[in-house]
Structure 1
Amino acid sequence: MTDTEITHLSAEPVAFPAGFVWGAASASYQIEGATTEDGRGPSVWDTFAHTPGAILGGDTGDVACDHYHRYREDVGLLADLGATHYRFSLAWPRLQPGGRGPLNEAGVGFYDRLIDELLARDVRPWVTLYHWDLPQELEDAGGWPERDTAHRFADYAAAVYARLADRVENWTTLNEPWCAAYLGYASGVHAPGRREPAASVSAAHHLMLGHGLAIQAMRAHDASRSFGVTVNLYPVDPAGDSDAGRDAARRIDALMNRQFLDPMLRGAYPADLLRDLAEVTGSGHILEGDTQVIAQPLDFLGVNYYSRHVVRAGDGPRQAPDAASAWPASNDVEFVSRGLPATEMGWEIDPQGLYDVLSRVHREYGPMPLYVTENGAAFADEIGPDGEIADPARVAYLDSHFRVAARAIQDGIDLRGYFVWALTDNFEWAWGYSRRFGLVYLDYATQRRIPKQSARWLAQVTRRNGL
């Protein structure tokens, strides 16, 4: 695909509203490297990645994209994309090595430099406080299944906010608490690698409690900034017209979507979810007043979208997407492939699903400012003989999803921005370096960054604020 062909990819022009946010996203452990430098403590991901057999290929985030030393180059790439914002996460163990106590000044200094560089290039920082790299000392004390971790998170959020809020307007507490709770504590395919279904339910609750406590603490210091949270949402449909299939869809929807949306946006857990989970864990971890703390008013909601789930009742426990086969209350549920084109992750490409999740939030939880805080695709990118990386499948993927986003806006949904995952190829969690999501190709042997065709195409989109 040539640049001319990229320009004429689709026939119908689409315009986005003035001031629409365009950005790219990243996460600290996936890109920073420098895991033992300048006082940074170990995280659960450092420990997990160094556990034999945990990560495909034995990969670790020890070096990753070396963003800690190459952040200026990466900010330059963002500026070349025409990004108005950059969504990145702070490494809790870099800022608070043991998860408590005074901030590590060297860690604060790194984020000071990064934020200043972004602002100098006219790119606004969008901070996520937690993208899964829990300090190992807190995990040793029990991790997210323990209530105390929520309070430690609030203390960390307040301390960091006091230092950086003068230059950062948008603050996201958590990224995808479902993944942190269930992939980390139920299926064990993510750090810390535990397979304890009851603990995963407590972890989910305490993650949300920490979210609410953190917003309270930050607002108490300075309420002038914008606060939100990011959840990964999926349309969940039954594969056929049967009561058992509809109940399977209901259970997965409760676990993946309503378990987080309802407490944070309605102040209560879904009654059917509590019934589903009763056989796994009681409700003793939910104390009086918790849901009121969790339901802090939000200035925005971040939505991460990648695919749709289609399910049916099965004959026994099934391997679910992301290998999350130990989900509580998901036994006897089978995830069904529809035979659609899929990314390298095996996720079926379904742009309509993005519209469905945005419209559902708008319809069922009330109009609110929404941002697509992650959307993107992994493909088997390779450097061509001309030194270029042609990725027409990624261009087509983003084009189709952007058009759905524009349709949502036309239909009255308050969608205000879109962050592509990811800026660069990076450490893709349990997949190591085997999956490439980046707009920018990374040669891991040399750390050379090469913008892909999708990066040049996105720069056209951001310049014209449309397709």
Structure 2
Amino acid sequence: MVKEEQEKKLSLKREDFGKDFKWGVSTAAYQIEGSHQADGKGPSIWDIFTAKRGKIYQAHNGNIACDFYNKYEEDLYLMKDLNIHNFRFSISWSRVIPAGVGVPNPEGIDFYNKLIDKCLALDIEPWVTLYHWDLPAALEQKGGWTNREIISWFKDYVTLCVQCFGDRVKNWMVLNEPLVFVGAGYFLGVHAPGKRGMKNFLPAIHHAALCQAEGARIIKQYYPLAKVGTTFSCSFIEPSRPIQKDIMAAQRIDALVNRLFIEPALGMGYPVEDLKFLKKMEKYQLPGDKALLQFDFDFIGVQNYTREIIKHSWFVPYIKARNIKAEKRKVPITAMKWEIYPDSIYQMLKKFNSYKKVRDIYVTENGAAFKDIIEDGRINDKRRTNYLKGYLKAVLQAKKEGMNVKGYFVWSFTDNFEWAEGFRPRFGLVHVDYQTQKRTIKASGKWYSNFLRNQVK
């Protein structure tokens, strides 16, 4: 309670974070670009998955999305007008190498060259994510992340990107939230490619973790001075009751959600002691893999939105734990039904800061979806603004306590395609009318802009 009271009393001014603190927004290729078949682009697993009946809310897809492929200059000018000078975006693997391997696509490469050049011309620093979930469909036909050959495919893809863009891109992120794309895509089947079961999940975990390090090594090989990181989804995990069963259940969920991919990179191996099922992953490991999993990242990206309350459950296989949904706990929630709990981001910064080998930390995603109402051409999204203020105060508290947090990126710049949820949740600082592609700056976007101008107290 003492810390929460301290956060409430904190003023919220840009200058309090220090002059070198990076402020930005984040996006992802499939969620905004559209033009899914334009200029030689090959299909990705999300192009295939969204075409399947019953997979996406109201059969939405990213075929057009925000039409960023055609409107990127307009959006970058808007970004500059809002005083946002750091832009995190991802490269679509199937746009630059349509078949995933082999012949590159010059027109796809040209698009990202133009995007990067325009960013730099407008004094916007590009922060590039190499993989944000849109695997080329041709590679999925060969097993995708379950096939160990993906390490070779990924290395070739990263090499191409670094050779084409590395002279201008100084900040790289290798993977976006590996637990989510292997968990939702290769265990639960609710995201592309829709595979299920431990036989898919375990090899996908290991191969993604290997690619996380291999991709970083390639970037450093070509550009030793580049800043190389990777990003992790994370949630603050707490037991439902102060009893041993719930405490142990929460510990298992924490190992799965927050430790599974960072600890191998730090040379600690997988958290097998807390997740016994990971022992079965030995069949996918080769001699020398533990060393190959390691990389000394320049930074890590922490992506936090909420906390989870965990209860022991005999009926849940492998982890014997279940999440108590936020709406059942009668706490404030977003349109995604995630609890609004600013202390979660403080706790996650504290957790990742506690690893001795972690260097700089950036909040590479944080934001909230709410139902936006347009009245007289305006969107007064007070709840989103208050969400951002609350979480930023928690970030500031962490920084004041000496935690090594160096920047903050809002998810997201514009409303976009939110995977299985389609276009229903709106996370953007800028509203998108998907019929007309008109952009409308929300009150939260104006607040963020003014905050970055140092005009907000």
Return the TM-score normalized by structure 1.
0.92
- SS of equivalent residue, structure 1 residue 266: coil
Return the alpha-carbon distance in structure 2 between the equivalents of residues 138 and 465 of structure 1: 49
RMSD across aligned positions (CA): 1.6
Aligned AA (2:284)? H
Change (3 A) 1:12 1:94: same
Are the aligned partners of 2:230 and 2:300 in contact in 1 as well (CA < 8 Å)?
yes
Are the aligned partners of 1:259 and 1:273 in contact in 2 as well (CA < 8 Å)?
no
Please say if 1:343 is aligned against 2:334. yes
Match of 1:127 in 2: 128
Return the alpha-carbon distance in structure 1 between the equivalents of residues 109 and 210 of structure 2: 25
Return the alpha-carbon distance in structure 2 between the equivalents of residues 66 and 87 of structure 1: 17
- Which structure 1 residue ranges, 5 or more long, are not aligned? 1-8, 318-327
- Which structure 2 residue ranges, 5 or more long, are not aligned? 1-7
Aligned residues: 446
- SS of equivalent residue, structure 1 residue 64: coil
Match of 1:202 in 2: 203
Match of 1:224 in 2: 225
Match of 1:371 in 2: 362
Are the aligned partners of 2:26 and 2:411 in contact in 1 as well (CA < 8 Å)?
yes
Moved over 4 A (4+): none
- CA shift, 1:266, in A, is 3.0
Q: Could you tell me which of 293, 314, 318 is aligned with 1:329? A: 318
Match of 1:285 in 2: 284
Q: Which moved more, 1:236-245 or 1:42-51?
A: 236-245
Q: Which moved more, 1:362-371 or 1:77-86?
A: 362-371
Match of 1:361 in 2: 352
Return the alpha-carbon distance in structure 1 between the equivalents of residues 429 and 24 of structure 2: 11
Are the aligned partners of 2:203 and 2:281 in contact in 1 as well (CA < 8 Å)?
no
Are the aligned partners of 2:300 and 2:358 in contact in 1 as well (CA < 8 Å)?
no
Return the alpha-carbon distance in structure 1 between the equivalents of residues 243 and 9 of structure 2: 39
- CA shift, 1:362, in A, is 1.0
- CA shift, 1:13, in A, is 4.1
Are the aligned partners of 1:118 and 1:124 in contact in 2 as well (CA < 8 Å)?
yes
Change (3 A) 1:98 1:383: same
Match of 2:3 in 1: none
Match of 1:305 in 2: 304
Change (3 A) 1:452 1:199: same
Are the aligned partners of 2:129 and 2:174 in contact in 1 as well (CA < 8 Å)?
yes
Q: Which moved more, 1:180-189 or 1:191-200?
A: 191-200
Are the aligned partners of 2:100 and 2:138 in contact in 1 as well (CA < 8 Å)?
yes
Return the alpha-carbon distance in structure 1 between the equivalents of residues 47 and 239 of structure 2: 38
Return the alpha-carbon distance in structure 1 between the equivalents of residues 52 and 244 of structure 2: 43
Match of 1:180 in 2: 181
Match of 1:394 in 2: 384
Q: Could you tell me which of 430, 441, 461 is aligned with 2:420? A: 430
- CA shift, 1:368, in A, is 1.5
How do 1:32-111 residues align onto structure 2 when only pairs under 5 Å count? 32-111=33-112
Are the aligned partners of 2:50 and 2:59 in contact in 1 as well (CA < 8 Å)?
yes
Are the aligned partners of 2:116 and 2:126 in contact in 1 as well (CA < 8 Å)?
yes
- Render the CA deviation track for 1:128-160: whole Å, top value 9, x for unaligned: 000000000110000101111122111100111
Return the alpha-carbon distance in structure 1 between the equivalents of residues 27 and 455 of structure 2: 22
Return the alpha-carbon distance in structure 1 between the equivalents of residues 391 and 51 of structure 2: 36
Match of 2:5 in 1: none
Match of 2:443 in 1: 453
Aligned AA (2:432)? L
- CA shift, 1:197, in A, is 2.1
Return the alpha-carbon distance in structure 1 between the equivalents of residues 455 and 401 of structure 2: 18
Return the alpha-carbon distance in structure 2 between the equivalents of residues 56 and 157 of structure 1: 32
Return the TM-score normalized by structure 2.
0.94
- SS of equivalent residue, structure 2 residue 203: helix
